[in-house]
Amino acid sequence: MEIKDSNKWMGRFFQSLAFKLSLSIFMLASVLLSSLGIYYIQKFFDGIEKDFYSSAHLPATLLDDGILPHASVRDVDVITTLMGTDVFEAFIEGSEGRISYGSDRMKEGERYAEISKNQILDGEVVTHWGIAASNVDVAGADLVHLTAPLCLANGTTGRLHLLVDTGNMKRHKNVVASWFLLGFTGCIFVLSLSCATLVRFMTSPRLRDVASCLAAVEQGDYSVRVRREASADELGELSRGVNHMIRELESRRIEREELETALRIAKEDAEKASRSKSEFLANMSHEIRTPMNGVMGMAQLMKDTELSVEQREYTDTISASSENLLKIINNILDLSRIEMGKFNLNIDTVDVEKVLNELHTFFTPSVIEKGLELKVDCADDLPLVCTDEGSLRQVLINLMANAVKFTQKGHVEVGVQCLERTGNECTLAFRVTDTGIGISEDAQEIIFHEFTQADGSHTRAFGGTGLGLAISKKMVEQLGGRLTVGSEPGKGSEFRFNISVNMEDTADKETPIVEVPSEEESLGLDVLLVEDNKLNQRVAVKMLEKMGCRVDVAENGREALNALKLSLPEDERPRYDMIFMDIQMPVLDGLKATVMIRGQEGEEHRTPIVAITAHAMKGDRERFLEHGMDGYLSKPVRREDMRTMLKQYC
């Protein structure tokens, strides 16, 4: 852990600005001081060499002035003492070129040129400060041959030749060079270190301040500011820039918050307005359903009476119109249900093949009427699946109704196939195709919007509200799919959607038993009808009587409790096979009445209670069952639905 921390610290140090600046200073100082060092070392070397070569003048001058006898060159120690350097050999060369005196007496009288050729000599002669010097090639010794001019006793000129050891001079040079090197290196380090410390001291606190401000801003704190923003240097400029940026961000945040608040309020208002609209639509359609019950019920009852041809035509028209009106109301109710978020899926086991066959039966009359062909293309291997049958059925009804409506000749086909199976899941692909008028590409873009039709003109040939596809699209989305269309004007259309569903064990798949309703069958049941609306009372009583039921009527929940005489002992109470109970009633509503009935009746004589209601919102069914009811029929009630309920519960 510690190693990790120190590595991290080192990494940060090497990347820090202070380190980089220090490195630059170090490099600059190295170059400058090294150049300076080389210059001064050279100067010192020159001084040392000058001293060295100049030292040869002293014995020559002394010999010239006669202070030293010429014979003294025979003693190299004397010359060495005078020069301060080790003299290896000394000669005086006379005017005739012969050695008059020499430290090596054997060579006296010999010609200097001979000796130098054999022994002393050497390379190129260079004059240093008036002394001719050349390097001498004597093994093992670092010698130089110095020559100084000399006046001889007989008035002629000669030369003093010295072979001098340069070892001392070189050592001196090395010592000087070493000291210089040491001094300059030390200077470089001290300079770099002090500059680095200075840079660090001047920049680090301010950079840290900037960094901590930026970190605070990152955390959403816009109140922080970098200090010393007034200073005129680059860091001051940086501080001013950062502070300006923070102020800008702060004002933008305030603006954004204000905008968000305004947007939220606008969204809430819009949602409120949309909810009010949906509630209004739901209430309206609910209110319309109650009188519709009367209209449809009465028209149905009238059809069962003796009618002239003209009267029958009128009644049929009333029935057809009210059916259409009911469809519109149902669509509006569905839409408002979806928009209010009250649309819940009711997932159960669904036999898709059965659903399609039922749709075939349902659409057969209208297809035959238009001279069309209706095909169902259902794959053989369809499993039982888990989905919301009601929504699926409604989507297919909407699509098939459109297909029939917009097709004049040819066929309408509904098909489903299982695209793929993975584990317990399968993807069902549904399609509804027709050979109708088709939809232009532009119109394909808009037909899924509410209240929109491909032909929006006043002269359009087909009726409709433009709601069916909008509802279908939303329902398919709820089922987990996406409704799409492909079409060519004049050739036909194809609506498609895929949904992924869980599969049920196919062994459970039952062959559908189609129950043929028998209108004639007399049920002979005792029914209590609890309904406050007189018209609806009459409709329901007539329907029930037609089914061979005996009907008692109660105007509200209180009257229903009275009719059931729940205060009497159980075996003295009147028995009913079924209670049809309206929900919204004066005095005592249907739900409260049901709770009271369930509280007082014995378990053995539990009477089935079925709600008859214009409350057709999702979730209502569950509410009714929670209050002790057994089922519900939504208004307008059809005779077949009532019969089904009676058969199911009695």
Residues that bind ligand ADP (CB under 6 A): 398, 402-403, 406, 434, 436-437, 439, 447, 453-455, 464-470, 493
**Closest distance between ligand ADP and the C-beta of residue 461, in Å?**
10
Nearest to ligand ADP of 322, 402 (CB atom): 402
The residue with its CB nearest to ligand ADP is: 464
**Distance between CA atoms of residues 254 and 248, nearest Å:** 10
Distance of alpha carbon 163 from alpha carbon 244, whole angstroms: 81
**468/590 with CB nearer ligand ADP:** 468
CB-side neighbour CA atoms (13 Å) of 256: 6
Q: Which is nearer to ligand ADP, 296 or 401 (CB)?
A: 401
Q: What's the CA gap between 463 and 599, in Å, rounded?
A: 51
Smallest distance from ligand ADP to CB 458, Å: 14
Q: How far apart are CA 343 and CA 9, in angstroms?
A: 60
**Contacts of residue 498, Cβ cutoff 8 Å, sequence gap at least 6:** 419, 427, 428, 429, 430, 481, 482
Burial class (CB in 10 A: 0-12, 13-18, 19+), 94: buried
Q: To the nearest whole angstrom, how small is the minimum distance from the Cβ of residue 331 to ligand ADP?
A: 8
**Cα 316 to Cα 608: distance, rounded to the nearest angstrom:** 34
Nearest-approach distance from CB 398 to ligand ADP, in angstroms: 6
Reported as half-sphere exposure (CB side, CA atoms, 13 A), residue 520 has a value of: 0
Report the nearest approach of ligand ADP to the CB of residue 464 (Å).
2
Q: What would the two tokens of residue 80 be?
A: 């060495």
Give the nearer residue to ligand ADP in terms of CB position, either 406 or 624: 406
CB of 455 to ligand ADP, least distance (A): 6
Closest separation between CB of residue 342 and ligand ADP, Å? 21
**Residue 608 DSSP label:** P
What is the 8-class DSSP label of residue 490? T
Query: CA dist 500 to 282, 294, 390, 399, 474, Å?
Result: 31, 42, 17, 20, 16
CB 439 within 8 A of CB 491: no
- Cα Rg for the chain, rounded, in angstroms? 59
CB nearer to ligand ADP: pick between 338 and 467: 467
CB of 447 to ligand ADP, least distance (A): 4
CB under 8 A, 24+ apart: contacts of 77-81: 79/162
What angle, 0 to 180 degrees and rounded to 10, lies between the N-to-C axes of helices 389-405 and 468-478?
Answer: 150
At 278, the amino acid letter reads S
The first and second tokens of residue 533, run together, are 């609306």
Residue type, 35: S
Structure tokens given for 254 = 């305030």
* Of residues 334 and 559, the one with the C-beta less far from ligand ADP: 334
**CB of residue 414 vs ligand ADP: minimum separation in angstroms?**
12
Among 521, 637, 529, 640, residue whose Cα is nearest residue 578: 529
Q: Which is nearer to ligand ADP, 334 or 630 (CB)?
A: 334
- Which of 466, 628 has the CB closer to ligand ADP? 466
Q: Which is nearer to ligand ADP, 187 or 397 (CB)?
A: 397
Smaller CB separation from ligand ADP, 435 or 607: 435
State which residue, 402 or 613, has the beta carbon closest to ligand ADP: 402
Indicate the residue among 454 and 530 with the shorter CB distance to ligand ADP: 454
Minimum Å distance from CB 423 to ligand ADP?
A: 35
CA distance 191 to 483: 78
CA distance 529 to 545: 12
Nearest residue (CB) to ligand ADP, 447 versus 544 = 447
**Smallest distance from ligand ADP to CB 584, Å:** 30
Task: Measure the CA–CA gap between 579 and 582, rounded to whole angstroms.
Answer: 10
Give min distance, CB of 276 to ligand ADP, in A: 24
Tokens of 526: 């005792």
Cis check for the bond before 636: say yes or no (omega within 30 of 0).
Answer: yes
Least CB distance to ligand ADP at residue 439 (A): 5
Nearest to 340 by CA among 616, 613, 617, 614: 617
Task: Name which of 90 and 356 has its Cβ closer to ligand ADP.
Answer: 356
Task: Supply the minimum distance, in Å, between the C-beta of residue 332 and ligand ADP.
Answer: 12
**What distance lies between CA 641 and its chain's CA centroid?**
52
